[in-house]
Amino acid sequence: MSSPSDAPGDTRSRPAGVIHDLGYRPYGGPRLGEGPVAWSLFVTGLRHTYGLGRSGRSKVLPMLLLGLMLLPALILVGVLVQARNLLGLDDQIVAYSTYPLTTQLLISVFVAAQAPALISRDLRFRTITLYLARPMRRAVYVLVRLASLTVATFVLVASPLLLMYVGGVLADLPLVRETGRFLGGLVGAALLAACLAGLAALVSALTIRRGLAVTAVIVVLLVSYTVVSTIQGIALDSGHETVGEVAGLFSPYTLVNGVQVFLFDSPEATPTPPTTDPMGVVYVVACLVIVLGSIGGLLARYRRVSP
Amino acid sequence: MGVIETEGLTKTYPRVTALDHLDVSVGEGVTGLVGANGAGKSTLIKILLGLVRATSGTARVFGHDVATEGGTIRSLVGYMPEHDCLPADVSASDLVVHMGQMSGLPYPAARERASDVLRHVGLAEERYRPMGGYSTGMKQRAKLAQALVHDPRLVLLDEPTNGLDPTSRDDMLALVRRIGSEFGIAVLVTSHLLGELERVSDHVVVLDGGRLLRSSATSEFLHATGSLLVEVHGRPDADRVLGQALVEAGLVARPAEGGMIEVEVRDETTPDVVRDLTVALGLGLVRLQERHHRIEDVFREGGAGSVQPV
């Protein structure tokens, strides 16, 4: 409290106000259209996902996770650059497509923590009303929110890959081959980000309470991955590879890795990647179903939101 | 062209009729929208914003049809919802800037406008604190600021005095008055407290059960009803003694609230008769005033809900 007039319910500090009071000034400047408004909502959402423009406390978790994501990549690059000749390395130590699977816990925690911050928050505080009372259409709002979350997740998944790529180039790995693999890795990262963000946004939009939303997203992502990789391990050991391949459809991580194996011949990171072309196609279709399904689900959910 | 025009506007929900063939016309200045809870005030506002679709009938805001030009209307209108809508972890300053951008203002303009309107609504240093710690009065001001940031031509204020203590309520009402007169922005303000709207409104629309009960200038609501309020003292039963004397003198008199007597005015000599009788009875005349018809009386005559549309 800087002055007594700050006390709640007190009248406004008249004396200070009068001196500087220029009266009400109407706004005669430009008004932007739907595109720039949507862009500004997108950028704000993206910044908020990393805690920028929010309280200091909300920066801690996303920045910590980003740091933890980059740390292994940094160590791998260090080893690659320093000891390439010593160890006789001709390849990335961990493939681009494998990296998101090894760090899936961090990615899941990030999505689970930030999706509710972006999606549930507007519903819980009913700030959604303020958005709906502005020119932007409902569907645009939903798509922009989802885009912010997807890009934020993509940044988290792709930045260590970029670090590894730069390190690989510095370590004189074959440039063309490395660039191709890196671009494949980026497509995989984009697909993974879209799947994770779509699922997490849908779950967050259905659960208004933040704690519940965080838990629900964690359960959906971590439990599905644990169950799927367990089934795949058992399937491989008992010789029922097809069972493992089908199981791989049910976790975004194994699914996207399978798509990368199928489309880009990336090294497999799961025990039972899709081995046949039809199964590969099923993987790609499943990926699209997750992304488009969650967009459709979100749009349907927001149609029922009353202003 | 009126600011708001509705014709036969009807909204029915599965179990309740929120609006029933409403014909309302709202002009510039401050218009009070009065009605008990559930009278259809909030529904009307949501239809005007193009957020809720009317079952039948039409509504126009600045000549734009709410059913087809919702986006255009929402760029011209500011809305202050009745319920809480402020994120707890954001400062009022950040929210108002962001909402200005959402209405199409470029960032520098949004910042300048936000700073202006926050000053007008009276949020000082606290505008930089997260809104989770705000008092109700501060929250209402922040909500009002976000409705004004894009310099709308009309603001729809849904129960802006809700939950405020008497001082904050007076402040808020004064602010509403200023928006309508000084800022030159048309205002539609709702309240279920009838008395407070007659102080700030140029025009009052009374809704009851989704129907239009009355729509007229505030001055007409306050017209003299042709009776006098008389207050006397001198004896414990002074009012009864004078009342009896007035009736015997051929006037119509009845007890009014607060130990006063209401006397119907027969002609211009009535006040003189009251004065002379008071003196003759040896009583002291404390008050002799024209009785004004207050907005409450629209409801009181026959009780809310049973009054037919005018």
Q: What is d(CA A285, CA A191) in angstroms, rounded to the nearest whole number?
A: 12
Q: What is the pLDDT of residues B276-288, one digit of tens each?
A: 889 988 888 888 8
Q: Is residue A20 part of a domain?
A: no
Tell me the per-residue pLDDT of B22-76, one tens digit each, with 9 for 90 and over. 999 999 999 999 888 888 899 999 999 999 999 999 999 999 999 999 999 999 9
Q: Return d(Cα B253, Cα B232) in angstroms, integer.
A: 14
Q: Which amino acid is at A274?
A: P
Phi and psi of A99, rounded to 5°? -55, -50
Mean pLDDT across B252-264: 84
Q: Which chain B residues contact residue A23 at CB under 8 A?
A: 182
**Distance between CA B30 and CA B180 in Å, rounded?**
5
How would DSSP label each residue in A187-256? Answer: HHHHHHHHHHHHHHHHHHHH--SHHHHHHHHHIIIIIHHHHHHHHHHHHHHHT-HHHHHHHGGGSHHHHH
Give yes or no for a contact between B230 and B285, defined as CB atoms under 8 angstroms apart: yes
Q: What is the pLDDT of residue B295?
A: 56
* Residue B52 contacts A where some CB pair is shorter than 8 Å: yes
Q: How far apart are CA B53 and CA B67, in angstroms?
A: 7
- Tell me, yes or no, whether A213 lies in a domain: yes
The confidence score (pLDDT) of residue A7 equals: 42
Q: Which residue of A has its CA nearest to B105?
A: A31
Q: Per the domain annotation, does A45 fall within a domain?
A: yes
Q: Is residue A16 a part of any domain in this protein?
A: no
Q: How far apart are CA B235 and CA B253, in angstroms?
A: 19
Domains detected in chain B? 4-221 (3.40.50.300), 224-292 (3.30.70.120)
Task: For residue A48, give the amino acid letter.
Answer: H
**A108: closest CA among A193, A47, A191?**
A193
Q: Which tokens belong to B261?
A: 């007597």
Say how many C-beta atoms besides its own lie within 10 A of residue A292's C-beta: 12
Are B150 and A55 in contact (CB < 8 Å)? Answer: no
CA distance A125 to A195: 26
Instruction: Look at residues A163, A127, A112 and name the one whose alpha carbon lies nearest to residue A44.
Output: A127
Does B124 contact A54 at a Cβ distance shorter than 8 Å? no
d(CA B274, CA B230): 8
Unique residue bearing structure tokens 């006390």: A7
CB within 8 Å of A223: residues ≥ 6 apart: none
Which ranges constitute the DSSP H helices of chain B? 41-48, 70-76, 92-102, 107-121, 136-148, 166-181, 194-200, 218-221, 238-248, 270-280, 295-300
| Helix, coil or strand: residue A153 | helix
pLDDT above 50 for B308: no
Instruction: Choose among A11, A30, A33: nearest Cβ to B171.
Output: A11
Question: What single DSSP character describes residue A172?
Answer: T
B134-148 residue pLDDT tens: 999 999 999 999 999
The whole-number pLDDT of residue B294 equals 59
Tally of structural domains, chain A: 1
Cα–Cα distances in angstroms (integers) from residue A36 to residues A31, A146, A279, B105, B149, in the given order: 10, 17, 42, 10, 18
pLDDT recorded at residue A4: 43
CA nearest to A118 within chain B: B87
Q: Which helix (H) or strand (E) holds A123?
A: helix A121-124
Q: What's the complex ipTM?
A: 0.85
- The SS3 call for residue A279 is helix
- Chain A residues in contact with B122 (beta carbon < 8 A): 12-13, 17
Q: What are phi and psi of B39, to 5 degrees?
A: -80, -10
Quick check: B250 and B289 in contact, CB under 8 A? Answer: no
- CA-based nearest residue to B80, from B140, B150, B162: B140
Instruction: Report whether A50 contacts A66 (CB < 8 A).
Output: yes
Residue A19 within a domain? no
Contact A36 B104 (CB under 8 A): yes
Query: Mean pLDDT of residues grouped by 10 in chain A (307 residues)?
Result: 42 48 85 94 95 85 96 94 83 92 95 93 92 94 97 97 94 91 95 96 90 91 94 92 93 95 90 92 96 96 87
Instruction: Report whether pLDDT(B310) > 60.
Output: no
B79 in contact with A at a CB cutoff of 8 Å?
A: yes
Answer whether 0.90 is exceeded by the pTM. no
Q: Between these two residues, B193 and A24, which has the higher pLDDT value? A: A24
All residues at 6 or more sequence positions from B285 whose CB lies less than 8 Å from its CB, including other chains: B230, B231, B232, B274, B275, B278, B279
Cβ neighbours, 10 Å, residue B168: 22
Max Cα distance, chain A (Å):
84
- Domain of A237 in residue numbering reads as 33-303
What is the C-alpha R_g of chain B?
A: 24
A5 belongs to a structural domain: no
* Lookup result for tokens 């470029």: B106
HSE value, Cβ hemisphere, 13 Å, CA-based, for A274:
27
Within a domain: A28: no
Residues from chain B that touch A144, judged by Cβ atoms under 8 A, are none
Return the exposure string of B269-303: e unless at least 16 CB atoms fall within 10 Å of the residue's CB, then b. Answer: ebeebbeebbeeeebebeeeeebebebeebbeeee
The pLDDT value given to residue B63:
94
Q: Of A57, A205, A113, nearest to B132 (Cα)?
A: A57
Q: Which of A3, A11, A29 sits opposite B167 (nearest CB)?
A: A11
Question: Which H or E run contains A82?
Answer: helix A56-87
Structural domain includes residue A15: no
| Closest chain A residue by Cα to residue B78 | A133
Stretch B250-274: mean pLDDT, rounded? 83
Cβ–Cβ below 8 Å for B46 and A307 = yes
N-terminal to C-terminal alpha carbon distance within chain A? 35
- Residue A255 pLDDT: 95
